[in-house]
Amino acid sequence: MKVQEESRRPAATAGLRARPVASESAVRGRRKAGRAGKRMLAGWLLVMPALLAYCGFVVYPLLTGVQYSFYKWNGVGPSQWVGLDNYVKVFTDQTLLAAIGNAFLLIAFFTVIPVSAGLVLATLIRSMKPGFVSSASQTILFLPQIIPLAAAGIAWSWMYAQTGAVNQILEAVGLGAFARPWLGDFQTALPAVGLIGSWVLTGLCTVLLLTGIGKIDPSLYEAARLDGAGWFREFITVTIPGLRQEISVLVTLTVIAALSSFDIIYTTTLGGPGRSTLVPGISIYRIGFTQNDVGLASAFGIVLMVLVIACVLPIQRLARESAR
């Protein structure tokens, strides 16, 4: 019996010793959970101001716009439920469809030209020796980006006038036969406005692409030169593949700028002559504030948002797949 009691005592004492260890681990777990909870609370407190501002200035107006899009309302009097009639009108009204078509045409000027020119200019600046010339080139190219778009539109409307700088330059070089009121001609108004957007966005594209080129491993260029690659092959096989992420970002930004353009067109043509430069932003402004049809303007705004998302999502997906 004594032997059995003595054999049981170590087990009992071992159990007594194990309990404090288990309790200490539990206390540590609770402390870790408490610290994690405090960090989470601190994170929410830090994010809350921005989250409230986002909900107040983005989410709430968006939901309100969706609600208004199902009503016929002049902004003052009583509203009338019309269901999907406003959306049907957006897709059947020729004027509104023409505005959407013009916005897609502007993608060529807001996206294709700036990104292509930015690639060429960034490559040329990279080939220069670091110094005053390269720094000044970057500064001059980026200056249009810091000019307000309304001011840029006004300045270019003066230059596009019949007696403006553009026509004077054409006459000085013997091409006076091509002089015309560029913003007043049905054939040239939209390209003229698009070139303003190209001028504004080229600097941003150049600077961002130049930053991306600086991240490319120089050994890749050296290997291409050792293989006998010229500047064009080096540009195609090294520079462009190394700038996929930057190009996708720029294409996304410029496509959104083209589809949601407003400032430049409002200060230059107001959508004219006729509807040759009419874009969704100008149409929404006219419908909502001139025709006092808040419901139709809201529906057109929702359609524009869906179009922007439908154009941007494939670009982002292609960029992710190319990065793998």
CATH number at residue 209: 1.10.3720.10
38 shares its domain with 118? no
264 shares its domain with 181? yes
Q: Give 126-181 pLDDT, tens digit per residue.
A: 887 777 777 888 888 888 888 888 889 999 999 999 899 999 999 999 888 889 99
pTM of the model: 0.83
CA pseudo-torsion sign 17, 23, 29, 32 = negative
Q: Give 136-146 pLDDT, tens digit per residue.
A: 888 888 888 88
55 shares its domain with 129? no
* pLDDT of amino acid 241: 87
CA gap 87, 100 in Å, rounded = 14
CA gap 183, 192 in Å, rounded = 7
- If one counts the domains in the chain, the total is 2
Strands (E), the chain: 71-72, 80-81
CB atoms inside a 10 Å sphere around CB 78: 8
Structural domain of residue 6, as residue ranges? 2-68
Helix (H, G, I), strand (E, B) or coil at 217: coil
By percentage, how much of the chain surpasses pLDDT 70? 92
When pLDDT is averaged across residues 58-64 and rounded to a whole number, the result is 93
Enumerate the β-bridge partners of residue 80.
Answer: 72
- 206 located within any domain: yes
Selection from 68, 46, 45, 48 nearest residue 56 by Cα: 48
277 pLDDT more than 60: yes
